[in-house]
């Protein structure tokens, strides 16, 4: 039995929050490359313009819309406009996220990870906590809410949430609000999946480990940091956006129609422990 047709997303209407860089851009690229019509939503107007122009020059149906997921009215408008333009909304990647600043230890790997006073609990401000929760958790709720308004009447939809290995594994180099938001996003995905299953809408999550993206000021681009982290990953390398594209296509396509409420970790085995 040839199942390749089950991965067909040609003509699908797709939105991606946080779509101008990193994993969000990778989601948009792979869906557009397979014939979907994609709207990238991001706060970075310059990056949006650059990448939409590049993808359009490759003959792909991609557009960019500037919106902050913490501006709920603006996000609603962006999603509604995409659905109206396409006449449908099939897939919503709830991906936008921000870094939460330093954690209580310095360094991502190795045995010498000093305590960082700026990341200590008693120095964690309300402003820092609230901003991370608003973008990384509430932003997913608002994205899903807006998308389902278009999906439920059609009896079809895919919601794909970007969580993190940090949803289940405490990483002390990251501020605690990040882990809290990602764990909340995972359980929100479970709630969405249970409510929406009867309407032909699935909700699943992709949980990346250490990937080379621009989040946190782009620290992951540092070759020395990559090498240090890779020593603790069983596959002995860090992840890159291309590694996540096939999984994104699968979860967005009819191939995954009987899968809902699942978080798929993609981390090279990092969460399992150190092997050698």
Q: Express each pLDDT in 73-93 by its tens digit.
A: 999 999 999 999 999 999 999
pLDDT bin (cut points 50, 70, 90) of residue 100 is confident
pLDDT at site 272: 95
pLDDT at site 180: 96
Whole-angstrom Cα distance, residue 34 to residue 48? 20
**Distance from CA of residue 178 to its chain's centroid?**
13
Report the catalytic residues. 178
Dihedral of CA 239/240/243/248: which sign? Answer: positive
Average of pLDDT values for 243-252? 98
pLDDT at site 176: 92
| 34 pLDDT more than 90 | yes
Question: What is the model's pTM?
Answer: 0.96
Tens-place pLDDT, residues 125-142? 999 999 999 999 999 999
Name, in order, each residue with C-beta under 8 angstroms of 123's C-beta and a sequence gap of 6 or more. 117
């Amino acid at each position: 039995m040839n199942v390749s047709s089950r991965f067909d997303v040609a003509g699908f209407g797709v939105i991606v929050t946080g779509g101008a860089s990193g994993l969000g851009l990778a989601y948009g690229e792979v869906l557009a490359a397979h014939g979907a019509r994609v709207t990238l939503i991001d706060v970075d107007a310059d990056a949006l313009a650059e990448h939409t122009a590049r993808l359009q020059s490759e003959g792909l149906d991609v557009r960019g819309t500037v919106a902050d997921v913490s501006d709920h009215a603006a996000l609603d408008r962006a999603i509604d406009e995409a659905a109206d333009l396409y006449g449908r909304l099939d897939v919503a990647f709830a991906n936008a996220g921000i870094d939460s600043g330093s954690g209580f230890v310095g360094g991502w790997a190795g045995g010498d990870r000093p305590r960082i006073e700026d990341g200590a609990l008693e120095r964690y401000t309300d402003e820092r906590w609230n901003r991370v929760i608003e973008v990384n958790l509430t932003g997913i709720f608002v994205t899903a809410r807006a998308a389902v308004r278009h999906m439920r009447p059609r009896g079809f939809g895919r919601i794909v949430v970007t969580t993190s290995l940090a949803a289940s594994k405490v990483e002390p180099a990251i501020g605690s609000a990040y882990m809290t938001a990602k764990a909340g996003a995972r359980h929100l995905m479970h709630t969405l999946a249970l409510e929406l299953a009867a309407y032909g809408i699935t909700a699943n999550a992709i949980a990346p480990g250490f990937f080379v993206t621009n989040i946190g000021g782009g620290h992951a681009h540092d070759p020395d940091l990559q090498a240090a982290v890779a020593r603790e990953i069983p596959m002995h390398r860090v992840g890159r956006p291309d590694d996540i594209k096939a999984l994104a296509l699968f979860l967005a396509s009819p191939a995954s129609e009987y899968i809902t409420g699942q978080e798929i970790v993609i981390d090279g085995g990092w969460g399992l422990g150190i092997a050698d």
